[in-house]
Structure 1
């Protein structure tokens, strides 16, 4: 049994979708980041980076529990545990890993910043909006070129696609459009139609909060890191 600590965010959706895709038993433990639950000592003991999601595999290697945080690490762990969505061939595996790292280092952070400055920031910063919107657009165009002649980013459907999908899903909130990206649009529609993806993104959907309408959410998500560290007794 796997314990999933999550909240309905793009990063949470990655692992929620993966667990639904691979079909392993899991229990859901909501981490209400709107109310600051990610800073609770019990959660920090699992995830020192105070982010979601985190998993605890009660039947980890050697039959002992294993805690895994960071979505890329979680996706690789689950793929290796189940033998799904990660090819065994070294060349094909390398392709999947490259596009997974691309998402973690580029697509997610850049679209996340574009979303923040376009939608959430109380002060509009034109330079930041333009910077992250342009970089987000560039990355979506990289996807468009990669999908020429193939269905998915590394050939077959894999953890690379599972990682990228939730971030492409928020493209409108990140000031982006897919209208002139036919391959990305086709890729997105194919993944969105998968039953496991539908189940994954619906998990905890009733607890989603529009950050633009909640000062509590804004403070807990975007407040001072120094304040949060001090509040938890850290230097």
Structure 2
């Protein structure tokens, strides 16, 4: 497989894909880009509809044999198929459904909240000039201008608190990983929650199981390798506009 991964700092969706590639032993040509500066919209990257209209917002782009793909959970599934390392998805159909349902929860509830809080804490400097998606352009304009209403920020904080509570409940039976075996659910959950401790410390004040889970995850060689692909001291503080906040709450 000939693949190029255009990725941002190892936070949010870029972390998921980097760590999945390393876990699976997939040899990719890694190209770091500045997502906060809007470099994903550069003419140097391929821009099919799937990239321009990505529901994930500012995430990595994987190009394989000239075909561009986006969205971290689905990219991790792809890498799980083509890589040679241990599986990142359960073989049992019901267990796989559980994992994908968990990932959907993260994509639709946690990721928009984390991106909203992250860009509110550290707004990007300017709106890129060549964004094709009107929805994403609007999120950029709001982030740069500091225009996110307090109701959405309050709702986002609530969703992060609920996500930590969900992790604590999932880990309460003594398991090491969210689905029993290590999986994409662990990577995607860590990806969006790692930067929330500094922004919302109260959410983690009584979360010892989540803390222990994070420590186990950071100790994995592939995760450490992914986190090392950074150009800043604290990549978890770097945010670009992410998924749209759910209209249904």
Q: CA deviation at 1:202?
A: 1.4
What's the counterpart of residue 162 of structure 2? 138
Of 106, 109, 129, which aligns to 2:109? 106
Bigger mean CA deviation after superposition, 43-52 or 132-141:
43-52
Counterpart of 2:114 in 1: which secondary structure? helix
Counterpart of 2:4 in 1: which secondary structure? strand
Q: CA deviation at 1:170?
A: 0.6
Q: CA deviation at 1:95?
A: 1.6
Q: CA deviation at 1:97?
A: 1.1
What's the counterpart of residue 2 of structure 1? 3
Counterpart of 1:87 in 2: which secondary structure? coil
Residue ranges of structure 1 left out of the alignment (5+ in a row): 59-64, 213-217, 223-235
- Structure-1-length-normalised TM-score: 0.77
- Name which structure has the greater RCO, CA cutoff 8 Å, separation 6+: 2
What's the counterpart of residue 37 of structure 1? 39
Q: Is the 8 A contact 2:118 2:237 kept in 1?
A: no
2:213 matched to 1:202?
Answer: no
Q: CA deviation at 1:141?
A: 0.7
Q: Counterparts of 1:152 and 1:200 in 2: how far apart (Å)?
A: 19
Q: Is the 8 A contact 1:115 1:173 kept in 2?
A: no
What's the counterpart of residue 246 of structure 2? none
Describe how 1:32-111 pairs up with structure 2 within 5 A.
32-46=34-48, 47-49=51-53, 51-58=58-65, 65-82=66-83, 84-111=87-114
Q: CA deviation at 1:98?
A: 1.3
What's the counterpart of residue 23 of structure 1? 25
Counterpart of 2:204 in 1: which secondary structure? coil
What's the counterpart of residue 191 of structure 1? 217
What's the counterpart of residue 159 of structure 1? 184
Q: Is the 8 A contact 1:116 1:174 kept in 2?
A: no
Q: Is the 8 A contact 1:99 1:153 kept in 2?
A: no
Q: CA deviation at 1:22?
A: 0.9
Q: Is the 8 A contact 2:89 2:183 kept in 1?
A: yes
* Count, aligned residues: 209
Q: Is the 8 A contact 2:22 2:226 kept in 1?
A: yes
Q: Counterparts of 1:179 and 1:110 in 2: how far apart (Å)?
A: 19
Q: Counterparts of 2:70 and 2:199 in 1: how far apart (Å)?
A: 25
Q: Is the 8 A contact 2:122 2:237 kept in 1?
A: no
CA 95–41 in structure 1, closer or farther in 2 if over 3 Å, else same: same
Residue ranges of structure 2 left out of the alignment (5+ in a row): 124-142, 242-249
